[in-house]
A = this chain, B = another copy of it.
Amino acid sequence: MRYWEDFEVGETERYGAYEVTEAEIIEFAKAYDPLPFHTDPEAAKDSPYGALTAPGLLTCSIFMRLLVDHLLLDAASLGSPGVDQVRWLKPVYAGDTLSVRQQALSKRVLESRSEMGLVKNRFEVLNQHDEVVCDIASNGLFARREAEDASA
């Protein structure tokens, strides 16, 4: 179980291998981002990218899935107050395989609730060519082991 204490500023981890399919792009886009270059492979041929591309929020959602599988299911996670920045740097195509590089940027105990701490992480989403397709700076709240031990 990973607590706030277990994040080390500067430490980098790499994880995940999620293949993005054409079917998933179309299904997600029809529900949440129904622009023709996300929903229609034919229309996408005439777009600046020349082929179907994943909606930006699908890329973020796939990142989230990798984060849950790798980290959050085994962490004393208390949610996220928010995201500081998202940059979509390169298109994500059907057939791409995405992974995540995570680095803790800073951490602090909450003044108002000392039993938990905030970790600012940078997450780079990479494709199979090791190109960064999306760069995310996010905040996560985690319980402190110290506080847990004290209340036990």
How distant is A80 from chain B, measured CB to nearest CB, in Å?
A: 7
Within 8 Å by CB of A80, from B28, B31, B34, B88, lies B88
With A61-B61, A85-B85 as known contacts, state yes or no: A56 contacts B35, CB within 8 Å: no
Residues in B neighbouring A57, C-beta threshold 8 A: 57, 60-61, 64
Q: Are B80 and A82 in contact (CB under 8 A)?
A: no
How distant is A88 from chain B, measured CB to nearest CB, in Å?
A: 6
How distant is A91 from chain B, measured CB to nearest CB, in Å?
A: 10
Interface size on A, residues (CB 8 A): 28
Chain A stretch 79-128: residues in CB contact (< 8 A) with chain B: 79-88
Q: Are A85 and B88 in contact (CB under 8 A)?
A: no
Report the stretch among A3-11, A65-73, A144-152 that lies at the interface.
A65-73
Residues in B neighbouring A88, C-beta threshold 8 A: 79-82
Further 6 A-B residue pairs, CB within 8 A, beyond A34-B68, A82-B86, A82-B88: A32-B61, A35-B72, A55-B64, A82-B85, A83-B83, A85-B85
